[in-house]
Amino acid sequence: MARSERLLSLLQVLRRHRRPVSGATLAAELGVSIRTLYRDIATLQAQGADIEGEPGVGYVLRPGFMLPPLMFSQGELEALMLGFRWVEKFADAPVTKAATDALAKISAVLPAELREELENTALLVGPRKIVDSETVDLALLRAAIRRERKLRLSYADATGAVTERVVWPVALGYFEDTRILVAWCERRQAYRHFRTDRMLGLTLLEARPPRRRAAMLKEWRESEPGPRRPAAPPPDAISQP
């Protein structure tokens, strides 16, 4: 492995660890000697990486450091571009714009040959099955999830019956044929899946759920039977609020 690749790999390993990790563990993961590891850490520190620690104690990388120029492998570039093309086709307009801006920032700092690889990747995304049919602003859903706020939701079920309820938003799922809000429903006292195209009105409340979103997300995942599926649940499963 070239030294530049080794330094990037070391940064990636450090980013995965939120707590100090021993030099011996880092060296074993990278397949280098402990002396080589210490030299590489000293090199990164000299280039501005905020790596704290010392031999015998452990090392941790503080957030915010990016080693210029930004480097990616061919596989990583293909994954980035495939992800962007999926977002471009299946996400709503604000998310698509954010992805476009992020891709432009990445492209701007890539070396010329890597920029060409990014723009010419041959991985494609298939056609979309539906058109946007929401009457509510999905940005409000994302804000409620991000800020951990309750939502007042007006919702029509599969028969057209409309109910009003307060929910604790947990996650927003994007699928080929629909979008689903995962939320704890105060009315049902259980997790429910709400199709965004059946939402008639949203109000962001100031009240916070009594539990943190991360804890609810974990609880919801554990409550779902069977393996996580890559496709949306069937309509009958998501129309029972």
Q: Which residue has the higher pLDDT, 158 or 126?
A: 158
The Cα–Cα gap between 120 and 218 comes to 38
Domain count, the chain: 3
In a domain, 125, yes or no: no
Q: Do 91 and 39 fall into the same domain?
A: no
Query: For the residues 54-79, what does the mean pLDDT come to?
Result: 74
> How confident is the model at residue 71, as a pLDDT?
63
| Mean pLDDT, rounded, of the chain | 83
Q: Do 225 and 149 fall into the same domain?
A: yes
- The residues facing 23 across adjacent strands are none
The Cα–Cα gap between 237 and 239 comes to 6
> How confident is the model at residue 228, as a pLDDT?
45
In a domain, 163, yes or no: yes
Q: Which residue has the higher pLDDT, 121 or 65?
A: 121
Average the pLDDT over each of 51-55, 110-114, 137-141, 171-175 and give the range with the smallest value.
110-114
Q: Do 27 and 107 fall into the same domain?
A: no
Query: For the residues 58-73, what does the mean pLDDT come to?
Result: 69
Q: Cis peptide before 69, with omega less than 30 degrees from 0?
A: yes
The Cα–Cα gap between 124 and 85 comes to 7
In a domain, 68, yes or no: no
Range of the domain at 219: 138-238
The Cα–Cα gap between 207 and 160 comes to 29
Whether residue 47 has pLDDT greater than 50: yes
Read off the amino acid at residue 61: L
Q: Do 52 and 78 fall into the same domain?
A: no
Query: For the residues 76-91, what does the mean pLDDT come to?
Result: 87
Answer yes or no: are the C-beta atoms of 101 and 87 closer than 8 Å. Answer: no
User: In this predicted model, what pLDDT tens digit does every residue of 189-239 receive, in sequence order?
Assistant: 999 999 999 999 999 999 999 999 999 999 999 987 654 443 444 433 443
Q: Do 225 and 162 fall into the same domain?
A: yes
Most confident of 80-84, 118-122, 212-216, 234-238: 212-216
Answer yes or no: are the C-beta atoms of 186 and 155 closer than 8 Å. Answer: no
The Cα–Cα gap between 34 and 32 comes to 7
Q: Do 167 and 234 fall into the same domain?
A: yes
Helix axes 93-109, 138-147, angle to 10 degrees: 70
In a domain, 30, yes or no: yes
Closest CA to 128 of 80, 176, 191: 176
DSSP 21: B
Q: Which residue has the higher pLDDT, 6 or 186?
A: 186
Q: Do 156 and 180 fall into the same domain?
A: yes
In a domain, 133, yes or no: no
Q: Do 163 and 211 fall into the same domain?
A: yes
